[in-house]
């Protein structure tokens, strides 16, 4: 009976966090409003004429209702350095867009002028190569935890690789998820020349269930880029919320005919099987892994275990990469690392390379 109560409690908490995801990417001030499609950016501030966003994807689609404000500045943090913005309206009204760089490499500022009061605008933000189907690279890692004060060597190594378009982090960005730790994590992250899109781990829950989302945005989201779909899930409570399974079904359907990689913190199944490093319910783990296999997911990536494992479940290639700086697994001879991944839409395959940090 105790285990049933514990599992139910985790499920309730995970469901509460998933409900928070519904509200991300939306803001209103007077008659002006903004909606980021699929909640793929957190609206950090919104006032007539001024928006600050934290992006959780390399491309964004935004609906802006400017009301009677004819000039807007849109600042996008954690984005690609070559991001461009185009603005369209139902009446095809002409809009002037000026672009500038921000204080950090991953910050872009767009100034829109000549907006028509009462008109609605669709803003499309994407880099020039968003539709390029040639092979390309990204990186992924997890489990920084208390190493947030010393993580720059990983970022330096990533930043020196011109092939990387962005980085993904599958949880445990901090030790306890306090506002101070998350602020420090963000400050260090901003030195990277590429954006990092992250979901949370169990260590982000030590202070608050909502702190990660208030700062960075959704814990469950999915996006496409250059012929591949990327789905990040919040498994920080060793389960997925029922609402997340509803979203996941749509994302899996959308990604079934092309490259699709799925990322989360706690893996559904521990490849060793002798630790408590997996979902609380083996039945749920089997349900999830079978669902990934049924939709031809090409790669599943996890954290939580502080080592590197390459394995498979139900025929889906899987990785655990927990080398971000947390106390490493003893005697594994892996140490701190990240994984560089090549996406090749033409061949329908991901290939991986472990990059070790001395």
Q: Is residue 296 exposed (0-12), middle (13-18) or buried (19+ Cβ within 10 Å)? A: middle
CA distance 78 to 42: 11
Residue 1 has pLDDT above 70, yes or no: no
Number of independent structural domains in the chain: 2
The pLDDT score that the predictor gives to residue 4 is 33
CB-based contact 177:203 (threshold 8 Å): yes
Same domain for 185 and 55, yes or no, is: no
Q: How many CA atoms lie within 13 A of 323 on its CB side?
A: 26
| Domain endpoint, select from 126, 153, 173 | 126
Rounded to an integer, the average pLDDT of 70-75 is 97
Residue 136 · residue 195 · CB < 8 Å: no
Same domain, 121 and 140: no
Residues 118 and 202 in one domain: no
3-class secondary structure, 240: coil
pLDDT over 50 at 141, yes or no:
yes
Residues 119 and 142 in one domain: no
186 and 112 in one domain? no
Same domain, 98 and 141: no
Q: Judging by DSSP bridges, how do beta strands 308-313 and 316-321 pair with one another?
A: antiparallel
**144-168 average pLDDT score:** 95
87 and 206 in a single domain? The answer is no
CA distance 322 to 332: 12
Query: For a pLDDT cut of 70, what percent of the chain falls above it?
Result: 96
Looking at the fold, whether 188 and 121 belong to one and the same domain comes out as no
Residues 142 and 118 placed together within one structural domain of the fold:
no
Q: Which domain holds residue 223?
A: 136-356
Domain boundary, last residue among 82, 101, 126: 126
Instruction: With cut-offs at 50, 70 and 90, classify the pLDDT of residue 13.
Output: confident
Q: Is residue 345 part of a domain?
A: yes
Asked, for residue 131, whether it belongs to a domain, the answer is no
Is the separation of the CB atoms in 204 and 20 below 8 Å? no
Last residue of a domain, one of 126, 149, 168: 126
Percent of the chain with pLDDT over 90: 86
Residue 135, both tokens: 């092979």
CATH value at residue 240: 3.60.21.10
Residue 20: name the closest of 189, 230, 236 by CA.
236
């Amino acid at each position: 009976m105790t285990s049933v109560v514990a599992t139910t409690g985790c499920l309730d908490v995970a469901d509460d966090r998933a409900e928070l995801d519904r509200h991300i990417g939306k803001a209103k001030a007077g008659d002006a409003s903004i909606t980021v499609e699929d909640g793929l950016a957190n609206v950090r501030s919104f006032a007539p004429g001024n928006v600050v966003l934290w992006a959780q994807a390399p491309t964004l689609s935004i609906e802006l209702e400017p009301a009677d404000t004819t000039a807007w500045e849109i600042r996008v943090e954690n984005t690609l350095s070559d991001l461009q913005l185009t603005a369209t309206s139902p009446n095809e009204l002409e809009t002037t867009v000026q672009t500038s760089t921000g204080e950090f490499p991953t910050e872009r500022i767009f100034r829109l002028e000549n907006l028509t009061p009462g008109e609605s605008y669709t803003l499309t933000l994407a880099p020039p190569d968003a539709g390029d189907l040639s092979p390309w690279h990204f990186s992924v890692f997890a489990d920084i935890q208390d190493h947030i004060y010393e993580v720059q060597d990983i970022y330096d190594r990533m930043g020196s690789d011109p092939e990387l378009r962005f980085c993904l982090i599958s949880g445990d960005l901090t030790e306890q998820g306090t506002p101070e730790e998350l602020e420090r994590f963000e400050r260090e992250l901003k030195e990277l020349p590429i954006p990092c899109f992250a979901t949370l781990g169990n260590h982000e829950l030590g202070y608050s269930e909502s702190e990660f989302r208030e700062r960075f945005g959704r814990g469950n989201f999915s996006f496409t880029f250059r012929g591949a779909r990327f789905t990040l899930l919040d498994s920080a409570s060793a389960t997925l919320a029922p609402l997340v399974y509803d979203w996941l079904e749509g994302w899996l359907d959308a990604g079934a005919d092309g490259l699709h990689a799925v990322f989360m913190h706690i893996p559904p199944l521990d490849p060793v099987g002798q630790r408590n490093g997996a979902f609380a319910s083996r039945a749920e783990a089997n349900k999830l892994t079978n669902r990934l296999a049924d939709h031809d997911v090409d790669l599943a990536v996890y954290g939580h275990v502080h080592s590197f494992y390459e394995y498979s479940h139900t025929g889906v290639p899987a990785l655990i990469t927990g080398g971000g700086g947390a106390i490493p697994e003893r005697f594994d001879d892996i140490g701190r690392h990240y994984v560089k991944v090549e996406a090749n839409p033409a061949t329908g395959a991901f290939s991986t390379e472990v990059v070790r940090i001395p």
